[in-house]
């Protein structure tokens, strides 16, 4: 029976109190967003020192916003005053309407947290996970309310990044999904919806093949790191090369994310061994001073434009287009949401499907077929791509691809 607090169920106006569980980079950023948006917030962590540090970082972040004139000094104090901290999960979720979990990316840890949140939160409360890769359906299985469990994947840092992926678990109700979408919008975010609980959701489902295909190209001896990154930046028109991005993200993070996604769905990504090799050696990228690049005081060296001239950038990007096509064909995401996710989540100047239309879907399919013959079934073109090519809908030059141009 639904609690009267959410009478008119699904109306975001009914949400008054929000709890955030986990006070790390994501957690304290989400708590700040909720407080800035007018909600009463409980921020919970098992460590008091983590909470104290989180409040310091929130004050620092708000001070920067005040310096830029985004908020007033009075508003800054009001926002901080809306956030209460606690080391008690029971206290944090007592009487709340919406809970966002932002603990470590470990399925057993998350299931344990959700089980406890379910035990102590009001019946009407929605329980959301900020996971970037783990299955919402499995997390929800630890609760007695799987219909009220949903994914809300914020991007780092959540105060600055404009995107949230809302993910529907197998049993997530339409009302829960809509409430999560509306709340994310109230927090000032642009929302994309992942309508099925697939490995990698939308953005990481596309980013994974970009990073790993770049790595395979080097691993197979077809190009150097510099050549691949040059081709991606100057050939494909992306803002950053795959290897430089991996170094920024952290090779440990890339390795673990790829492992998690491929274990959930072997067809989603073909992990390149080079990431595990670097992970084992401790070459984790910028944070350790060495990854695919050597990171000195001035950063990594720039990549020369001419370095990638002999490399076919479409060949590197084709598996990512294939992944995007699968999402659209299976109605996991719309063309609009796929491209919006790539632009806002990865900083691409255009969506992956917009780019594919510009490159020519026939060229994308040809690249995939060539790789399939050499390296296996992972590269089999998605039926949506082959159908579009057979119908002559190959992109911009043909007047229609994923978009219409005439």
Write out the E strands in 133-211.
149-154, 163-168, 190-194
Whether 124 sits among the annotated catalytic residues: the reply is: no
DSSP line for 48-82: HHHHHHHHHHHHHHHHHHHHTTSS-HHHHHHHHHT
d(CA 371, CA 379): 6
Instruction: Check 132, 173, 230, 315 and give the catalytic one.
Output: 132
Instruction: Check 173, 204, 312, 315 and give the catalytic one.
Output: 204
Instruction: Check 101, 165, 213, 354 and give the catalytic one.
Output: 165
Q: Is 44 helix (H, G, I), strand (E, B) or coil?
A: strand
Terminal-residue alpha carbon distance, the chain: 52
d(CA 59, CA 326): 43
The CA–CA distances, whole Å, from 183 to 18, 287, 357 equal 10, 34, 34
Instruction: Check 124, 153, 212, 213 and give the catalytic one.
Output: 153
> What does the H/E/C string look like for 236-283?
CCCCCCHHHHHHHHCHHHHHHHHHHHHHHCCCCCCCCHHHHHHHHHCC
Q: Which residue carries 């005040």 as its tokens?
A: 66
- Do residues 149 and 169 touch, judged by C-beta distance below 8 A? yes
d(CA 288, CA 27): 25
Whether 204 sits among the annotated catalytic residues: the reply is: yes
Whether 165 sits among the annotated catalytic residues: the reply is: yes
d(CA 344, CA 332): 18
Pairing outcome for strands 163-168 and 149-154: antiparallel
Is omega for the bond preceding 137 within 30 degrees of 0, making it cis? no
Q: Is 166 helix (H, G, I), strand (E, B) or coil?
A: strand
φ, ψ (nearest 5 deg) of residue 95: 80, 10
Tokens of residue 225, six digits: 């790191």
Whether 61 sits among the annotated catalytic residues: the reply is: no
Q: Just list the catalytic residues.
A: 132, 153, 165, 204
């Amino acid at each position: 029976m639904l609690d009267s607090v959410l009478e008119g169920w699904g109306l975001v106006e009914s949400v008054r109190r929000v709890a955030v569980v986990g006070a790390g980079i994501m957690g304290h950023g989400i708590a700040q967003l909720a407080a800035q948006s007018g909600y009463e917030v409980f921020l919970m962590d098992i460590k008091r020192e983590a909470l104290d540090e989180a409040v310091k970082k929130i004050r620092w972040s708000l001070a920067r916003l005040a310096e830029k004139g985004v908020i007033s000094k009075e508003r800054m104090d009001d926002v901080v005053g809306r956030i209460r901290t606690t080391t008690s999960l029971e206290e944090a979720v007592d009487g709340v309407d919406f809970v966002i979990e932002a603990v470590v990316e470990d399925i057993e840890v998350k299931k344990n947290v959700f089980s406890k949140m379910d035990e102590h939160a009001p019946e009407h409360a929605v329980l959301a996970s900020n996971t970037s890769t783990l299955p919402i359906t499995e997390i929800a299985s630890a609760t007695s309310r799987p219909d009220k469990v949903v994914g809300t994947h914020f991007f780092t840092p959540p105060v600055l990044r404009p995107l949230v992926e809302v993910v529907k678990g197998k049993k997530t109700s339409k009302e829960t999904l809509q409430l999560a979408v509306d709340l994310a919008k109230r927090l000032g975010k642009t929302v994309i919806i992942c309508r099925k609980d697939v490995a990698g959701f939308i953005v990481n489902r596309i980013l994974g093949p970009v990073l790993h295909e770049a790595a395979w190209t080097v691993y197979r001896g077809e190009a150097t790191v510099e050549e691949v990154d040059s081709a991606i930046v100057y050939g494909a028109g992306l803002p950053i090369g795959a290897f430089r991005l991996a170094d920024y993200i952290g090779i440990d993070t890339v390795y673990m994310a790829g492992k998690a996604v491929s274990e959930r769905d072997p067809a989603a990504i073909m992990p390149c061994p080079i990431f595990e090799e670097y992970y084992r050696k401790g070459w984790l990228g910028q944070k350790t001073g060495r990854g695919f690049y050597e990171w000195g005081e001035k950063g990594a060296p720039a990549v020369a434009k001419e370095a990638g001239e002999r490399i076919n950038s479409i060949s590197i990007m084709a598996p990512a287009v294939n992944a995007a096509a699968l999402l659209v064909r299976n109605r996991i995401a719309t063309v609009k949401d796929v491209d919006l996710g790539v632009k806002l989540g990865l900083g691409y100047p255009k969506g992956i499907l917009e780019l594919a239309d510009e490159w020519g879907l026939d060229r994308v399919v040809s690249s995939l077929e060539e790789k399939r013959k050499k390296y296996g079934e992972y590269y089999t073109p998605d039926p949506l791509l082959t159908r579009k090519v057979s119908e002559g809908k190959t992109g911009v030059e043909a007047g229609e691809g994923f978009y219409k141009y005439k």
